[in-house]
Chain A
Amino acid sequence: MWFFRSPEIVFGEDALDYLAEIEGHRAFIVTDENVVALGFVEKVGKKLSQAGIETAVFDRVEPNPSMQTVLRGAEAARAYGPDWIVALGGGSSIDAAKSIWILYERPDLMPDQVAPLGTLGLRQKARLIAIPTTSGTGAETTWPIVLTDTAERRKISVGHPENIPDIAIVDPAFVNQLPAQITADTGMDVLTHAVEGYTSQWHNDFADGLCLKATQLVFDYLPRAYENGDNDPQAREKMHNAATIAGLSFGNSMAAMAHGLGHALGALFPLPHGRAVGLFLPYTIEFTVRGDMPTRYAGLARFLGLPAAGEPEAAASLIQAIRDLARRIDQPTSLREAGISPQDFETQLPNLVDNALNDSTMVVSLRFPDEDETKKICRYAFEGRSVDF
């Protein structure tokens, strides 16, 4: 028994106007200080006030939000008593909002006690609206939550299907001014979601088409969005849609090994999530493909119009396309290029491997690496060598 889950998705120009149509009394906006400074919170507040909804703002979400942050947010939400939680920001704010929402409704739980079985009983007090201000994580359409355990320097994946947002507002106005570096980092996240969603063991007919479309949109529009910025609103809008489509795709089929390695890396080194997972993506494809063993990379490569006579050629051409894209948007293609020193890498390698192997995304990879293989993949990714084992 499988499920396909999705929020109501409002997209395109003026999508934010939909906020003026919702019914409620009090909204609790979860965001970060940068988003406040950009004037986005004010913009959202105005729309909500048109609907007669009061607002309170929790703007303390940090990149890679910690369990402590969501506990503080939940306490503030309980004091305010909202009937809407509004997540406004990138993946960190949206994930924090999901967690705050759960703890607001279920004060008996701790953030790391939320697992995807049984009944949570949400929507007794509030519902969740997610408004992404980056084009990357797709968190506005998914239920998994990534939090950081700062004590153990480890990212933890929690969440329950019930905590999928009720409404996702995908308005390109929020990303027109997105800096080039963030455009590139988050764009690689979109690509990794789409490729892994299509090739994970949990791939399915309902998610496949979304994965293919999102991958195509990234190859077609990410370079333009990166190079042209706000001078290319079409590329911005397409990438914003691609992020949501990819979120919907992998959210219903699961991300895989590049995410496991990327989560582990991001908890140990200060690398943005998208850069970390995108960096690992070609290495994990190289590891996964073994001769003519069917992996689905051929289907993906053919859809993109890449040479794909068989699995090896398809994988090679897809990997080449990903590395070409990464170079075009100035993304590192090795851990060394990403600024990690050989000393720091060697010191953290055991933790990197251990954290990766305990990441729930690893188990859905078509080829599951053991400890030695994981170590070797990391070493090859550090040096920028093609994986050949």
Chain B
Amino acid sequence: MTYLFGTDEWIKAYMQEINKSPAYEKSALDWEGDFYFVVAPDKIYDKVAIYYLDLWHGKCRDASLVEDESQFSPAFRMETSDANWKAIIDKKLDPIQGMMTRKIKLSGNMAKIMRYVKAAQELVNCATRVPTEFPPTK
């Protein structure tokens, strides 16, 4: 079974992968901070998709597709194009490189993220383990 990126099913499958990962749990044991992952429409989608992810002490407590950005006030907000999200999941774009080259816009305390390099890597690894489907590019 594959999950269409941009749907609520995908972020739920991602949450399961995170919660199955001992490597993530170990590397993020004292992490406290929730995220918005904002998928800006570009080459694949026509409208924005906003994922909410609540990461707490090595686990994902909640994950959902959000209709209205005012629903939560997460500590971090990461926004990039749909094509760049695909590149991250395909491990063709490192998120830190994406931030440094301004492909990814981050709001929140980047210094905190830089202290959890291993956890960030594991989050990407978890995403690669979700059987993901993207619509064809426009």
Point out residues on A near B: beta carbons under 8 Å: 1-2, 112-117, 156-158, 201-202, 354, 357-360, 362-364, 368, 370-371
Contact = CB atoms under 8 A, between A and B. Distances in A.
Contact of A358 (B97, B100, B116): B116
Tell me the interface secondary structure of chain B in the complex. helix
Contact of B110 (A1, A2, A117): A117
Nearest to B114: A360
B109 A1 contact: no
Interface of B: 23, 27, 94, 96-97, 99-103, 106, 109-111, 113-118, 120-121
A71 B25 CA distance: 33
B111 A113 contact: yes
B110 A115 contact: yes
A115 B97 contact: no
A357 B111 contact: no
B109 A357 contact: no
B96 A360 contact: yes
A113 B100 CA distance: 17
Contact of A363 (B94, B101, B103, B115): B94
Given A113-B111, A115-B111, A115-B114, A357 B101 contact: no
A114 to B, nearest CB: 6
A117 B109 CA distance: 9
A357 B121 CA distance: 10
18 contacts: A1-B101, A112-B111, A114-B111, A115-B109, A116-B110, A156-B115, A201-B97, A357-B27, A357-B118, A358-B27, A358-B115, A358-B117, A358-B118, A360-B117, A362-B117, A363-B94, A363-B120, A371-B23
Contacts of B113: 115
Residue of A2, A116, A363 with highest tally of chain B CB at under 10 A: A363
Contact of A364 (B97, B99, B102, B106): B97
Contacts of B106: 117
A116 B117 contact: no
Q: Which 5 A-B pairs have the closest CB atoms?
A: A115-B110, A115-B111, A357-B118, A358-B117, A117-B110
Contacts of B27: 357-358
Residue of B99, B115, B121 with highest tally of chain A CB at under 10 A: B115
Contacts of A359: 117
Contacts of A156: 115
A202 B101 CA distance: 10
